Amino acid sequence: MFARIFLLFWLAMALIVGASIAITYTNAAREYERQEFQRRPPVAIEASEALARDGVRGLKQWLAANEDSVPERDLFIVGPDGVDLAGRRLTEAALRRLEFFNRDATSGLDQRRPDGPAPLNFRPPRAAPQIVAADGTPFTILVVPRRPSIFGALSRPGIPLAVLAVALIVSALASGWLARHFTAPIRRLQEGARAVATETLDLRVSAGLDGRNDELAVLARDFDAMADQLKANRSARTRLLRDISHELRSPLARMRVALGLARQLPADPARQLDRLESEIERLDKLISQVLQLARLQSADSHYHREPVPIDEVIEEVVRDADFEGAAKDCRISMIGKAGVQVQGSRELLRSAIENVLRNAVRYSAPSTVVEVLLVAADGNLQIVVRDRGPGVPGDDLARIFEPFFRVAESRDRVSGGEGIGLAITAQVLKSIGGTAIAVNRPEGGLEVRLSMPAQT
């Protein structure tokens, strides 16, 4: 933005200065080339003719009409009393010129002797240009340079107004373009702000600003990114409420069925009570996970952080997951040691890693190995979990970290997943400045990479 304003300012200045020079030059050249000025006889001859023709009165009229006839010169006609015929005050240059003429004439007369030849150093007097009236009254004609103006040729008649007009036109055009350049995106930002206030999130204010990279265009694109995020958050909130309602409704429906069966005869109360207890535990676990996710997503969430030896946490998680995987002959292989600490909550870090590892065991084929690879370098720790499962469709790789998202709805329900564990993992890592991403392995299976800052 600074560069555009700077260049526009200097462009306008260059146009104004260039136009001023052109106008001044054209005016001066026209004045110089006027044929009537080039063919005009000396002013003394014209003044003498006016005096002979119309007397002193005519000479005054001629002086009033021609006092500005000589460019860059002042024209005075001085009477024997030393006063200008037009009643004007003589300029300093005119007074000096008149004094010079009078002194020169007087000194020349003093050096001549009436009864003999002139002395060797005699200098004839420099006669002042004079005209004489019919009654013998002499008038001295003085043509003296005007006092220089600080504006030079710009002070010529008509030039200041022309330059002012050019300056006004150029500055008006530059200001108009600059105002339009600024106000167009600002108006779109205003419209976008009003649309966001009414929860209309489809308006994009950066349309038409693709070719601009100034601050206002960047602000417009940031505004659009904010609107996209708000729209995504609103959709996620709506989907989350729908998913929570669905997840709570399912165990409640099964509890009603179990309660209805317990009331029928012949009834098996013990079996139905076990069923009710199982569903209550499922509800309690789901509600705990939802509350944990809500606390992690809260902007003012604060929890105790301490240096956590990550190797110990991973070994504990691997032992528990290895025990669960024994039922399907699925083993866990831990590769490498991190030898670093992570600043965070031990329980939250354990939960984040456990969610990924348990999912890997759950979807791996029987008699396979789940690999846990640890890589620490340059103050960063990466935990890579590789399974031997069916993988995830490419379009769903980023969404598996969203709350209640399931790749296969029926399969996840059978396996007991609520679709919230990986969302907790992503949120835990985000809270400590880390990331969680998932990619499909070329040889089959899913690879989840957990990256987080570490310290030795």
| Residue 408 pLDDT class (50, 70, 90 cuts) | low
The pLDDT value recorded for residue 437 is 92
pLDDT tens, position by position, 177-233: 887 877 878 888 888 888 888 877 777 788 777 777 778 888 888 888 888 888 877
Residues 294 and 323 in one domain: no
Query: Is 31 a domain residue?
Result: no
Query: Is 206 a domain residue?
Result: no
Q: Mean pLDDT, to the nearest integer, of 118-145?
A: 67
Report how far residue 4's alpha carbon sits from residue 177's, in angstroms, rounded to the nearest whole number: 11
Q: Mean pLDDT, to the nearest integer, of 251-264?
A: 75
pLDDT at 77 over 70: yes
| Residue 107 pLDDT class (50, 70, 90 cuts) | low
List, edge to edge, every strand of the sheet that includes 435-440. 331-335, 369-377, 380-386, 446-453, 435-440
pLDDT tens, position by position, 330-377: 899 999 888 889 988 888 898 889 889 988 998 888 889 999 999 888
Q: Mean pLDDT, to the nearest integer, of 72-79?
A: 82
Long-range contacts of 125-134 (CB under 8 A, 24+ apart): 126/101, 127/101, 128/98, 128/101, 128/102, 129/44, 131/44, 131/47, 131/48, 131/51, 133/51, 133/55, 133/56, 134/52, 134/55
Residues facing 447 on adjacent strands:
386, 439
Q: How far is CA 391 from CA 158, 185, 374, 444, in A?
A: 85, 46, 21, 7
| Residue 39 pLDDT class (50, 70, 90 cuts) | very low
Residues 243 and 308 in one domain: no
Query: Is 108 a domain residue?
Result: yes
Residues 336 and 438 in one domain: yes
Please identify, among 137, 157, 177, the residue that sits at the C-terminal boundary of a domain. 157
Report how far residue 377's alpha carbon sits from residue 340's, in angstroms, rounded to the nearest whole number: 10
Residues 309 and 290 in one domain: no
Query: Is 432 a domain residue?
Result: yes
Number of domains in the chain: 3
Please identify, among 281, 302, 323, the residue that sits at the C-terminal boundary of a domain. 302
Query: Is 249 a domain residue?
Result: yes
**Rounded to 5 degrees, what angle do the CA atoms 80, 85, 88 make?**
115
Query: Is 27 a domain residue?
Result: no
Residues 359 and 247 in one domain: no
Report how far residue 428's alpha carbon sits from residue 338's, in angstroms, rounded to the nearest whole number: 19
Q: Are the C-beta atoms of residues 255 and 387 closer than 8 Å to each other?
A: no
The pLDDT value recorded for residue 240 is 66
- The model's pTM: 0.48
Q: Are the C-beta atoms of residues 447 and 371 closer than 8 Å to each other?
A: no
Query: Is 392 a domain residue?
Result: yes
Phi, psi of 130 (to 5 degrees): -130, 155
Ranked by mean pLDDT, the top range of 27-31, 43-47, 365-369, 416-420 is: 365-369
The pLDDT value recorded for residue 152 is 53
Residues 408 and 328 in one domain: yes
Residues 425 and 399 in one domain: yes
| Residue 450 pLDDT class (50, 70, 90 cuts) | very high
Q: Please name the residues in contact with 22: beta carbons below 8 A apart, sequence gap of 6 or more.
A: none
Query: Is 15 a domain residue?
Result: no
Mean pLDDT, the chain, rounded, equals 77
Q: Which of 395, 318, 307, 297 is nearest to 360 (CA)?
A: 318
Residues facing 412 on adjacent strands:
none
Q: Determine the structural domain holding residue 417 and report its residue range.
A: 304-453
Tokens matching residue 2: 């600074």
List the single range of 63-72, 358-367, 375-384 with lowest mean pLDDT.
Answer: 63-72
Q: Mean pLDDT, to the nearest integer, of 291-314?
A: 76
Report how far residue 141's alpha carbon sits from residue 78's, in angstroms, rounded to the nearest whole number: 6
CATH number, residue 233 = 1.10.287.130
Q: How far is CA 96 from CA 61, 104, 286, in A?
A: 26, 12, 110
